[in-house]
Each structure stands twice: as structure tokens, then as C-alpha cells.
Amino acid sequence: MADLKPCPNCEYDAPEDLYVTVRCPRCLMTGPQMNGGRNDDHCDYKDRERAIALWNDLPRRKRRNEI
């Protein structure tokens, strides 16, 4: 499993892996939900690796030390 990148919104370095999505506990930004669009965590379709990959692929602004 890949490491989670920081939040693309607030740059918080410890987002939460919620198995079907990734969420930032600081600003509450949530990545794409990978459970078939259902609000129920017990559905048949779950794709944790895809949820993490989509979170990591979200566009991020360059940090000040990278400019």
C-alpha cells in the first residue's frame, strides 16, 4: 500500500485512511469514495488501493520550499 500524500487543501501531513476513502481530519476534505457510491461501508464493492491512489493523484499546490 502506498503512503498517503498530505491534504491538497490544507497540506496537513496525516490524512486518515477510512478504507473506502481518505479524509483530512483538519479541514475535513474527503477524497473520492470507492464503495460504489453508497453510504454504507458494508457494500460489496470496496477498493481501498484505488481510493488511496485517487487521493494521491489530486492536484496539489507547490509548497513554499519547492518554488
Q: Which residue ranges make up each domain of the chain? A: 1-58
pLDDT value, residue 1: 45
Are the beta carbons of 36 and 51 closer than 8 angstroms? no
Per the model's pLDDT, the better-predicted residue between 24 and 21 turns out to be: 24
Are the beta carbons of 15 and 25 closer than 8 angstroms? yes
Tell me how far the alpha carbon of residue 10 is from its chain's centroid.
Answer: 13
Q: Which residues pair with 45 in a beta bridge?
A: none
56: which 3 cell numbers? 494521491
- pLDDT (mean) for 21-46: 78
- pLDDT (mean) for 16-42: 82
